[in-house]
Structure 1
Amino acid sequence: MAAPAAAGRQCDRAVDQPGAGVIAGASGDVLFLAHRVPFPPDRGDKIRGYHILRHLAARARVHLVAFADDPRDRSPAAAFTDMLASHTIVPRTKKQWRAGLEALASGRPLSLTAFDDDAVRRAVTDVMARQRVTCAYAFSGQMAPYLPARVRRVMDFVDADSAKFAAYAADARGPMRWMLAREARLLAAFERSVAAAVDASLFVSAEEAALVPGGQPLENGIDAGFFDPAASFAPVAAPGVPLIVFTGQMDYRPNVEAVTAFVRDTMPQLPPAQFAIVGRAPTPSVRALVGERVTVTGEVADVRGWLAAADVVVAPLMLARGIQNKVLEAMAMARPVVASAAAAEGIDHGGALRVAGDAAAMAREIAALLADRDAAAALGRAARARVIARYDWAARLAPLDAIVGLAA
């Protein structure tokens, strides 16, 4: 393979040039390893990764080594790269079939073989040889194998992926059930071994952290200044009937299953309303849901217009791990939210959203909010107040300085 500068896009600042906003006294540089370029912050993992990286870059020189699975991510905007001391981006091109064969031959999880890349290893070696790195931060379990030795090592698992695959396996049949159960078992062992070897193991919620020995929560936050109903954004025209909105990455299995079940089981129980599925990369099965009462937008430039137009925002996920950004965003936009128990589990909402245990309960909660606009507006105001008080990014990331070992 080519050297890192050729295999990925690499850009370095001079070693003696301070990064933007670096605080005097920081103990050393930070190597940030990401399974996906955390920019633009337009999906759950990218949002968390971006805000953590921005927090660190304001306090130390940060060197990013990341995969890009979208061609648009191979050359991030200067608004992102200018806060980094250096960045190396490696396109992720390994075919799934090849990763599967490697997983079976090596006895490793597919989640790891899919991200096994010599170019990333060389990039990490290069950074460690040329920079004064004192802490390496791996974002998502797939990046754990790239953590270098002899520095402080922080593993941000985000979610316990083993639990997710175990849930998938419980619903699967035949060979797929075996494959998913294998992935869950191998990942669980991997997560435990990594947690035992690093200095800190972080998860998006206390519930997730409890699944791995030594795990500690570092919760997601929200940019309540951006997700603000008073901010400037392009409005979305009301459809003439009540609008129910779901947002998310629409090739992500839990999102696909959620909207499919909602259209099938909940929509028939509701009064006349329009359901908008808002998010990039809708699968063919999602596009097949389009009908008189269902709209599938595909990728939108700014989700805030859709949230602001919503009479109710729903999060009917049957499988959800950690804190759902989509729920925090809707709450910050002062919208009334109806969420499944799984989607609400990691959020300390204080009663500022409605929780529904099944499709019938979700239909009842939505119908009640559509029928009582004053109650819906009050719930939305309470939701925004709760988010501001509980989920501001600065407060959520305050423990990170000590975890990473940055000087006060």
Structure 2
Amino acid sequence: MKILYICHRIPYPPNKGDKIRSFNEVKYLAEHHDLHLAFLVDDPADMQHVDALREYCVDLAFVQINPPVQKVKAVSQMLIGKPLSLPYFYSSNLQQQIDAWAQAQTFDAIVCFSGPMAEYVYRSDVWSKERRPRLIMDFCDVDSDKWGQYAQDAKFPMNIVYGLEQKRLLAYESRVNREFDHSVFITDNEAQLFKNQMPDARNIEVVGNGVDFEFFNPDPRRGEACLAQGNACVAPTENSPTNLVFTGAMDYHANVDAVVWFCREILPRITKAGIDAHFYIVGGKPTPAVQALGQMPNVTVTGFVDDIRPWYAKADVCVIPLRLARGVQNKVLEAMAMERPVVTTTKAAQGVGAKDLQHLLIADSAESIAAAVIDLCNNPGARRELGDAGRKFVVENFDWRRNMEKLEKLLN
């Protein structure tokens, strides 16, 4: 089959949530079909990764966008009643390249990754109803509901802006669901949430995430030997502190909220209990609020790291205190695949399906999260048991190839 795959961000490298899923979709589809890949690049640093994607597709088209300029465009469109997300992720130059492809050949299917990518279908005059390809939208999560969460958490006037975005984006998602052949979500919970908000929703499918559990494979020699700090490795000593690790893109609002809350409200309770703990915030593009946390005596903000696995390997406990979360959290799956004990929240765990006390620990208040971490810090045996059970759960339930076969069926 000839497939056009349109993605809102470059699907490489697979080092953060949306890129992990989109890359694995691209990789799988490229093995079985002739794939044309179109995407946006909103970070100049990602331009170096464009060529790495050429081996996966017949052809690729991309446009580099400037986020501040796109935000100005988005605000101007918001004033006339449109969702902010659509103009932010729209480029007329990318539209021209997609239309040129469509005029030169017949695509059997179009897979859009993220709701706003439907604009490239709607704004094209190439496809008539008679020759329209099969249309599949991978929503991943219910994005409109995320904006609702932001509205509840924000102060005036941003709570009004976020609330409007929720309402308008939900209406757009409803249109996409009516007009595309299939609407894909990452978990049963997300699919049900969408149905609850749109009782007349049709052709809802669930295609779960996966984990490269061969890549995220605990290496005892690496785990015992060192903890990566930049380009250096520091050998542990008998008096080494208990290492608590959080990973993720540190310019993402939900991650920023999580680490700020942990440092201010949870970590002091842990140290007050006599635990010599050190908290590592591992991930690129830390905001000023995150960088400021690095001034605390028992907190390190690493910034971007080339390989996340050494940080997982040396973590005594992976803490994932997300208060704003949707769908499957890859950081939870990766930590479990690395046999690390995980303490996380209900919202962050619900998309994974792992059981509290069996595969990980779930707590939602500052007091209960601190208590869970303290218990694990004081019990090496419990840490090992939880880590072992977590990896077994991931290997049994999050195989990328098995999940991508579900996407394959939707194409036919």
User: Alpha carbons of 1:232 and 1:76: their partners in 2 closer, same or farther (altered >3 Å)?
Assistant: farther
Does 2:41 align with 1:36?
A: no
Secondary structure at the counterpart of residue 229 of structure 1: coil
User: Alpha carbons of 1:58 and 1:369: their partners in 2 closer, same or farther (altered >3 Å)?
Assistant: same
> What is the aligned partner in structure 2 of residue 292 from structure 1?
297
How many percent of aligned residue pairs carry the same amino acid? 38
Farther-moved stretch of structure 1 (305-314 vs 140-149): 140-149
User: Alpha carbons of 1:232 and 1:67: their partners in 2 closer, same or farther (altered >3 Å)?
Assistant: farther
Deviations 1:223-255 (A, max 9, x none): 000000139979413481000000000000000
Conserved 8 A contact 1:74-1:90 = no
Secondary structure at the counterpart of residue 386 of structure 1: helix
Report how far residue 77 of structure 1 moved: 5.6
Conserved 8 A contact 1:223-1:393 = yes
Deviations 1:351-406 (A, max 9, x none): 3011012111111111111111011011101100110001111122221111122x
Letter matched to residue 29 of structure 1: K
> What is the aligned partner in structure 2 of residue 277 from structure 1?
281
Q: 1:404 aligns with which of 367, 391, 411?
A: 411
Secondary structure at the counterpart of residue 331 of structure 1: helix
User: Alpha carbons of 1:293 and 1:396: their partners in 2 closer, same or farther (altered >3 Å)?
Assistant: same
CA distance in 2, matches of 1:187, 1:315: 28
Conserved 8 A contact 1:339-1:356 = yes
Secondary structure at the counterpart of residue 40 of structure 1: coil
Q: 1:224 aligns with which of 210, 213, 217?
A: 213
> What is the aligned partner in structure 2 of residue 338 from structure 1?
343
> What is the aligned partner in structure 1 of residue 22 from structure 2?
49
Conserved 8 A contact 2:14-2:23 = yes
User: Alpha carbons of 1:233 and 1:86: their partners in 2 closer, same or farther (altered >3 Å)?
Assistant: farther
Flag structure 2 segments of 5+ consecutive residues without an equivalent: 195-200, 228-233
Report how far residue 97 of structure 1 moved: 4.5
Letter matched to residue 5 of structure 2: F
CA distance in 2, matches of 1:98, 1:139: 23
Flag structure 1 segments of 5+ consecutive residues without an equivalent: 1-27
Conserved 8 A contact 1:74-1:89 = no
User: Alpha carbons of 1:274 and 1:398: their partners in 2 closer, same or farther (altered >3 Å)?
Assistant: same
> What is the aligned partner in structure 2 of residue 137 from structure 1?
111
User: Alpha carbons of 1:343 and 1:370: their partners in 2 closer, same or farther (altered >3 Å)?
Assistant: same
Query: Following superposition of structure 1 onto structure 2, how do residues 98-137 of structure 1 map, counting pairs within 5 Å?
Result: 98-137=72-111
> What is the aligned partner in structure 2 of residue 188 from structure 1?
170
Letter matched to residue 379 of structure 1: L
Farther-moved stretch of structure 1 (154-163 vs 68-77): 68-77
User: Alpha carbons of 1:311 and 1:199: their partners in 2 closer, same or farther (altered >3 Å)?
Assistant: same
CA distance in 1, matches of 2:39, 2:319: 32
Does 2:348 align with 1:359?
A: no
Secondary structure at the counterpart of residue 137 of structure 1: strand
User: Alpha carbons of 1:231 and 1:75: their partners in 2 closer, same or farther (altered >3 Å)?
Assistant: farther
Larger helix share, 1 or 2: 2
Give the RMSD, CA atoms, in angstroms: 1.6
Q: 2:187 aligns with which of 180, 192, 205?
A: 205
CA distance in 2, matches of 1:231, 1:272: 23
User: Alpha carbons of 1:111 and 1:385: their partners in 2 closer, same or farther (altered >3 Å)?
Assistant: same
Deviations 1:316-367 (A, max 9, x none): 0001010000000000000000011111011121330110121111111111
Deviations 1:22-48 (A, max 9, x none): xxxxxx211000000100101110000
Q: 2:161 aligns with which of 174, 179, 182?
A: 179
User: Alpha carbons of 1:122 and 1:78: their partners in 2 closer, same or farther (altered >3 Å)?
Assistant: closer
Report how far residue 78 of structure 1 moved: 4.6
Report how far residue 116 of structure 1 moved: 2.1
Does 2:362 align with 1:380?
A: no
CA distance in 2, matches of 1:252, 1:311: 25
- Normalised to the residue count of structure 2, the TM-score between the two structures is 0.88
Does 2:271 align with 1:264?
A: no
Letter matched to residue 276 of structure 2: P
Runs of at least 4 residues off by over 3 Å = 231-235
CA distance in 2, matches of 1:74, 1:131: 28
> What is the aligned partner in structure 1 of residue 197 from structure 2?
none
CA distance in 2, matches of 1:119, 1:193: 24
Deviations 1:262-319 (A, max 9, x none): 0111101112200000000000000000121100000000000000000000110001
- Normalised to the residue count of structure 1, the TM-score between the two structures is 0.89
Letter matched to residue 230 of structure 1: D
Letter matched to residue 241 of structure 2: V
User: Alpha carbons of 1:209 and 1:378: their partners in 2 closer, same or farther (altered >3 Å)?
Assistant: same
Does 2:397 align with 1:390?
A: yes
CA distance in 1, matches of 2:285, 2:219: 29
CA distance in 2, matches of 1:136, 1:100: 25
Q: 1:81 aligns with which of 50, 54, 58?
A: 54
CA distance in 2, matches of 1:107, 1:46: 30
User: Alpha carbons of 1:84 and 1:75: their partners in 2 closer, same or farther (altered >3 Å)?
Assistant: farther
Conserved 8 A contact 1:278-1:300 = yes
Conserved 8 A contact 1:67-1:89 = yes
User: Alpha carbons of 1:287 and 1:223: their partners in 2 closer, same or farther (altered >3 Å)?
Assistant: same
CA distance in 1, matches of 2:366, 2:320: 12
Letter matched to residue 284 of structure 2: R
Letter matched to residue 100 of structure 2: D
